[in-house]
């Protein structure tokens, strides 16, 4: 299964369109969205190209490919615009025999993980800083960063 992990769109359609172009080139089967979908958050300021309705339309066009978790900027009102669930604080996924624990990063995070077996992959967004690291616990840590507001 060809899977793409992405996070922190924050209502910017142009970066989502670029991600979808790459997903198509890579023939992605599954798009795993790590939260912070439509709202930019009070600390980020309003981005110039902010268009949450366009982001919702783009995502809804691929609803059958998306698995998503809730970010700290996501709320019930956002869910009303989306045709796939985003309100779960975490999800688990098995890919090629590996267990993936998916969360945004504001509840569970690199320094506060649930109990996971060795060989698992812990995936979070939230920090906007991309990372891929093998931890001393035998867990792989993945943060795809932010497609819209990278740090």
CA angle, corner 36, sides to 26 and 138, nearest 5?
A: 65
pLDDT digits (tens, 9 = 90+) for 24-77: 999 999 999 999 999 987 777 777 789 999 999 999 999 999 999 999 999 999
Q: How confident is the model at residue 130 (pLDDT cuts 50, 70, 90)?
A: very high
Q: What is the overall mean pLDDT for the chain?
A: 96
Q: Is the per-residue pLDDT at 82 higher than 80?
A: yes
Task: Output the DSSP codes for 95-145.
Answer: ETTEEEEEE-SSSSBTTBPPP--TT-EEE--SS---EEEE-TTS-EEEE--
Q: What is the pLDDT of residue 88?
A: 98
Structure pTM?
0.95
């Amino acid at each position: 299964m060809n899977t793409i992990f992405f996070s922190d769109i924050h209502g910017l359609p142009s970066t989502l369109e670029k991600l979808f172009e790459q997903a198509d080139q890579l023939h992605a089967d599954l798009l795993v969205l790590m939260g912070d979908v439509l709202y930019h958050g009070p600390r980020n300021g309003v981005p110039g190209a902010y268009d949450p309705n366009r982001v919702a339309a783009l995502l809804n066009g691929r609803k059958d490919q998306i698995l998503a978790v809730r970010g700290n900027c996501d709320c019930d009102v956002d869910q009303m615009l989306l045709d796939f669930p985003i309100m779960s604080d975490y999800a688990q996924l098995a890919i090629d025999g590996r267990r993936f624990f998916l969360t945004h990063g504001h509840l569970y995070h690199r320094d506060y993980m649930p109990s996971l077996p060795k060989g698992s992959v812990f995936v979070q967004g939230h920090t906007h800083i991309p990372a891929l690291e093998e931890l001393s616990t035998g867990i792989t840590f993945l943060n795809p960063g932010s497609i819209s507001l990278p740090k």
